[in-house]
Amino acid sequence: MNASRTRALRLPVATLVCSVVLLSGCSDSGSPGRREASTTQAAQPAQPAVPAADTDLQSDYQKVIRDVLPSVVQIQAGSDLGSGVVYDDKGHIVTNAHVLGDEKTFKVTIPNSENELTATLVYAYPEQDLAVIELDKVPDGLRAAAFGDSAKVAVGQIVLAMGSPLGLSSSVTQGIVSATGRTVSEDGGGGAGATIANMVQTSAAINPGNSGGALVNLDGQVIGIPTLAAIDPNFGDSAVPGIGFAIPASMVKTVADQIIENGRVTDSGRAALGITGRTVVDDSFRAVGVAVVDVKNGGAADKAGIEAGDVITKLGDTGITTITSLSEALAADRPGQQTSVTFTRDGRAKTVRVTLGEQ
């Protein structure tokens, strides 16, 4: 792994690869080159006045950055770098679970401070790709971010993404909310990653290291945690500009509050079928369903009569071809909800009613 690792959604969507070129230069104040440059600048025509509307928007951006950026930290987990958001004045920081990996202790850098702090894992919840860490010592002036209402997030809303892309701490990018209510599955790096519902899609650039940072509205409220950046595997895994995803603030608060209060997630709010399964392919190697490998005793599938060996092909009205598509369909439902499951057994199709359990 390296410092630029990030989670990704393939279109199917995955990690975003980019490079940074830093250019610098200087000249002596008394050199001819400097005088020539000054003369050239003086000869330029006067620039038109900036429209008042643009000035007002710029002021809004700068105020939001001043208010929120001090709450967005850089997290070092082993050799990897990511971002986090100060959740309260007790030193709790929320981030993505994938930023932390398998580490238990971390180094944290707060904006405008060169002092490196240490933090300890409270709990990671990979199913929602969220985690909370706690600073071992709370510094003076630690500022918690304000979290907004996800229900008020609207398409077209201007947002800023704050974090440490490619290790460049306290970086800010700008965009809009492109869509809401997206259900996406992460690339788990060789295995299935988390499937997350109701994500916010944004055009603000999300690069490696932005994960765990803040997606912020112009009221200075965190409306999401940037988590996924997109690449297109059909074009050599090239970056897809302007497609990123953030976990909505409502889910962040739900998970973080439970972790801080109980030390773990006690109520996931995520529906479960109560099975272990694997993707089945046909003779042409096309995915055609999910084979039930094991059924949880007393779970939703068990109560509905689903058995090991059955191949699930539909949940409600949604066709199921892979374990990922089953996870995405379940992510759109709620525990206790009734639905139907269609499966094949011994070559014959069968449909049963199921009351979904909780993950």
Q: Which residues form the catalytic set?
A: 98, 129, 211
Which H or E run includes 112?
none
Total residue count of the chain as it appears in this document: 359
Other C-beta atoms within 10 Å of 141: how many? 10
Nearest 5 degrees, angle CA 148-CA 15-CA 112?
A: 50
CB distance 68 to 140 below 8 Å: no
SS3 73: strand
Q: Tokens standing for 30?
A: 């008394």
Cα(167)–Cα(208) distance, integer angstroms: 8
How, if at all, do strands 80-86 and 72-77 pair?
antiparallel
How would you label 22-60 residue by residue, b for 16+ Cβ within 10 Å and e otherwise? eeeeeeeeeeeeeeeeeeeeeeeeeeeeeeeeeeeeeee
Tell me whether the omega of the peptide bond preceding residue 208 falls within 30 degrees of 0, making it cis: no
Cα(45)–Cα(136) distance, integer angstroms: 56
The shares of helix, strand and coil residues in the chain, as percent rounded to the nearest 5, are: 20, 40, 35
Instruction: Output the CA torsion sign for 324, 328, 329, 330.
Output: positive
How would you label 261-283 residue by residue, b for 16+ Cβ within 10 Å and e otherwise? eeeebeebebbbbbbebebbeee
The DSSP symbol for 200 reads: E
